Amino acid sequence: MDLLNDIFFDYTLRNVILGAMTLGLVSGALGSFAVLRKQSLLGDAISHAALPGIALAFLFTGSKSTMVLLLGAALAGWIATLLMLNIVRTTRVKEDSALGLVLSVFFGFGLVLLTYLQKIPNAAQAGLEKFLFGQAATILFEDVLVVAVVGVAIGLVTILFWKEFKLISFDPDFGAALGFPVNRLNILLTSLLVVAIVLGLQMVGVVLMSAMIVAPAAAARQWTNNMSVMVWLSAAFGAMAGIAGSVLSSLVPRLPTGPTIVLCVSAIVVLSLFLAPARGLVWDWIRQRRNIRQFHSEAVLIDLYSLAMQHKDLSHAHKAGVLETMNLNRAAVRRNLQILLQNGFVRQLKNDLWSLSESGIQKAQELLRRHEAE
């Protein structure tokens, strides 16, 4: 009850939860496009490239206004994006190499600028390093409104260009052949990603913001093959992580909000990797075990059919011990016979005798025809 009371009436906690939830929705939805386009490093590059923009914005304006600093971050991130796209288009450097190059250069430049600012005999620059790891507790209701308004605008643009974004995510060459302005669409989609990343710098920080772009989408990809479902799932996972991380950090003293949110979304990824029905490791292990059991039972069925072929009657019964001598996995023969019995493929007679049923004969013949075709 105390927690619910704090969520609704505590000003700081309410702002943090609303901001983190909105950030998770926006970054999760846009992150789906980055993951599908195999540009997972793009979020990392843009978030790190924003650091020198923050430092230069303070250096030239002398203002510590969050809006001024984030505008500088957005400009730097956008320039880094255009630079990366131009490097890929005009040189032989691959996209991942261009991303790594832009990331390291811009982030290194940003750290140099931060070091320089810390040496200036003026206490006003103190606190800029909060953008490295985020400081969610400083978020105001006005900041939440900005994130919400910008998030709605990003959502509307995404809906408006849904078909185009979907096309360039899967087959940009086909889109170019159809006459779509692929380069402009790339710039537009990447610019939306820049805006989403800049929105999260105050809460999650430069270092961890890339996880908010990649992790929800990576988790959602395990659950579906449908892109629209993946985008909605990714947005939901991002929002869930934002809420859970904010609540956990409020319950545990001195637990930072940004890293906690990232840990929550990482936990969602781990659970998805294990439990997702389509690709989860647990379900994959279950399917493998089921296939192995089916293979072994079919081998016993074929052995029983081969023995019956030596007689005029295909339903001629044989002892289980005979089947054990023909099968490499002797210990599993009786268990497989029970499986075949449950499926109605064999009949159990007295004195440990086993014979094929009519459906068992048809199944064995079908398996042999399939093996011959292969």
Q: For residue range 174-227, list pLDDT tens digits in order.
A: 888 888 888 888 888 888 888 888 888 777 777 678 888 889 999 999 999 899
Domain ranges of the chain: 2-276, 283-373
Q: Comparing 366 with 325, which gets the higher pLDDT?
A: 366
The pLDDT value given to residue 247: 87
pTM of the model: 0.80
Mind giving me the DSSP string for 209-257?
Answer: HHHHHHHHHHHHHTT-S-HHHHHHHHHHHHHHHHHHHHHHHHHSTT--H
* Confidence band for 156, pLDDT divided at 50, 70 and 90: very high
Q: Number of C-alpha atoms within 13 angstroms, CB side, residue 113?
A: 21
With a cut of 80, say whether residue 137 has pLDDT above it.
no
The pLDDT value given to residue 129: 65
Average pLDDT estimate for 242-257: 85
Q: How many Å apart are CA 110 and CA 46, to the nearest integer? A: 12
With a cut of 90, say whether residue 82 has pLDDT above it.
no
Of all residues in the chain, the percent with pLDDT exceeding 70 is 91
The pLDDT value given to residue 265: 92
Q: Strand, coil or helix: what is 348? A: strand
Q: In what order do the strands lie in the sheet with 353-356?
A: 318-319, 353-356, 346-348
204-208, 280-284, 308-312: which has the minimum mean pLDDT?
204-208
The pLDDT value given to residue 128: 65
The pLDDT value given to residue 54: 85
The pLDDT value given to residue 121: 65
| CATH 1.25.40.340 is held by the domain 283-373 | no
The pLDDT value given to residue 232: 93
Going by their DSSP bridges, the two strands 318-319 and 346-348 should be labelled as unpaired
Q: Is 293 exposed, middle or buried (0-12, 13-18, 19+ CB in 10 A)?
A: middle
127-136, 251-260, 300-309: which has the minimum mean pLDDT?
127-136
| 143: number of Cβ within 10 Å | 19
With a cut of 60, say whether residue 5 has pLDDT above it.
no
Average pLDDT estimate for 304-331: 80
Of all residues in the chain, the percent with pLDDT exceeding 90 is 14
Give pLDDT tens digits for 255-280: 888 888 889 999 999 999 998 887 88
| CATH 1.10.3470.10 is held by the domain 2-276 | yes
Q: Strand, coil or helix: what is 318? A: strand
Q: How many Å apart are CA 256 and CA 262, to the nearest integer? A: 11
Contact 156, 148 (CB under 8 A): no
With a cut of 60, say whether residue 126 has pLDDT above it.
no
Q: Report which listed range, 10-14, 59-63, 76-80, is most confident.
A: 76-80
The pLDDT value given to residue 234: 94
The pLDDT value given to residue 328: 67
The pLDDT value given to residue 194: 84
* Confidence band for 123, pLDDT divided at 50, 70 and 90: very low
The pLDDT value given to residue 53: 87
The pLDDT value given to residue 133: 67
* Confidence band for 119, pLDDT divided at 50, 70 and 90: confident
With a cut of 70, say whether residue 6 has pLDDT above it.
no
Structure tokens at 283: 């379900």
Average pLDDT, the chain: 83
The pLDDT value given to residue 9: 58
Strand partners, 348: 354
Q: Which residues contact 48 (CB under 8 A, 6 or more apart)?
A: 103, 106, 107, 110, 206, 207, 210
Q: Read off φ and ψ for residue 206, nearest 5 degrees.
A: -65, -45
Mind giving me the DSSP string for 114-160?
Answer: HHHHHHSS-GGGTTTTHHHH--GGG--HHHHHHHHHHHHHHHHHHHH
Average pLDDT estimate for 84-109: 84
